[in-house]
Structure 1
Amino acid sequence: MRDAVWRHVDGRGAVCVVGDDFEGERQFEQLGVNPFVLRPGEPMAMYHWEADQEDFLVVSGEAVLIIEGEERQLRAWDFVHCPPNTKHVIVGAGTGPCLVIAIGAREHDSLGFTVDEVAKRHGASVEEETNDGGQAYARFPSREPTAYRDGWLPE
């Protein structure tokens, strides 16, 4: 993954481009696999639900999972399964970077962003419900293509 293309923006972490290109073309139509590197306090996404199931594996570091309005601490090798329509977000925690692999089905292309007080405390909630990703992420600059940076992945 060190030689792969990454997308990064301060405040939202970095994601390794696996199976998608920058024009949005998907090489893998049924399954998305995306490694994310999050620094403490960086949300992977905004608090949301998806019409398909999604799974997460914490490979290294620590994170906070907010799921259905509840907060749960995660550490290396914790696995989370989110059935369809489960509201969730993961936020980096601890003292260093956290590597999380997100795996999701791609059968339906439907999602929504909901207001949540717990997610809001972590900077990961929208101000008003929406199904528009552009609106949900309007306060963030776009993740830009970048090369791998030392320290993102565990040795």
Structure 2
Amino acid sequence: MIVDPQNVPISQGSNYPDLFKPRVAGRLKQRLGDAVGLSNFGVNQVTLQPGGQSALRHWHTKQDEFIYVLSGELTLITDAGEQILTAGMAVGFPAGEANGHHLVNRSEQVAVYLEVGDRTPDDQGVYPDDDLMAKHGDQGWVFTRKDGSVFED
């Protein structure tokens, strides 16, 4: 199936608990993989506004992640520190590698990138900087505090 990204709906917001949603308010996603009927992995085209961030800093227990920058400049923040990514650069995060990461747009220009991740069942998201954990199951992502308690919104 062929799809023009301009015809793929843009989603803004997050399924994070309300406390964390403002931190990713500058992120716009287009679910290209879903639009072409992929089921084993997802491909999103993400537009990150100046000052926006891709996610809370995290890593996955079972999911590989891959990022390819299409335009603009992004700051990659990992356990090793910060690095600048520009158009044509790529980075990968193997499943189970405890290296919290996210992207921040500290430039004054919009940045666009592709994010690719597999859909391995029973994945967990680990958030080293926040009192948050995520488990993926049949109903999608479920977020709790690290002690397992639910968020009161």
TM-score when normalising by structure 2: 0.69
State the Cα deviation string for residues 118-144 of structure 1 (Å, max 9, x = none). Answer: xxxxxxxx2x142255458x8xxxxxx
Equivalent in the alignment of 2:103:
90
Q: How far did 1:83 drift? A: 0.9
Equivalent in the alignment of 1:37:
47
Equivalent in the alignment of 2:85:
74
Q: How does 1:94-105 map to 2 (within 5 A)?
A: 94-105=107-118
Contact 2:77/2:101 (CA < 8 Å) preserved in 1? yes
Q: How far did 1:70 drift? A: 1.8
Contact 1:55/1:80 (CA < 8 Å) preserved in 2? yes
Unaligned runs of 5+ in 2: 14-23, 136-141, 146-150
Q: 2:33 aligns with which of 19, 22, 27?
A: 19
Contact 1:39/1:97 (CA < 8 Å) preserved in 2? yes
Q: 1:8 aligns with which of 5, 12, 15?
A: 12
Equivalent in the alignment of 1:147:
none
Q: How far did 1:53 drift? A: 1.1
Unaligned runs of 5+ in 1: 117-125, 139-155
Contact 1:39/1:93 (CA < 8 Å) preserved in 2? no
SS of aligned partner of 2:32: coil
Q: Tell me which amino acid in the other structure corresponds to 1:73.
A: I
Change (3 A) 1:76 1:19: closer
SS of aligned partner of 1:14: strand
Larger Rg, first or second structure (1 or 2): 2
Contact 2:64/2:117 (CA < 8 Å) preserved in 1? yes
Q: How far did 1:85 drift? A: 2.5
Equivalent in the alignment of 1:65:
76
Q: How far did 1:102 drift? A: 0.3
- Would you say how many aligned residue pairs link Structure 1 and Structure 2? 123
Asked if residue 131 in structure 1 is aligned to residue 134 in structure 2, the reply is yes
RMSD, aligned α-carbons: 2.4
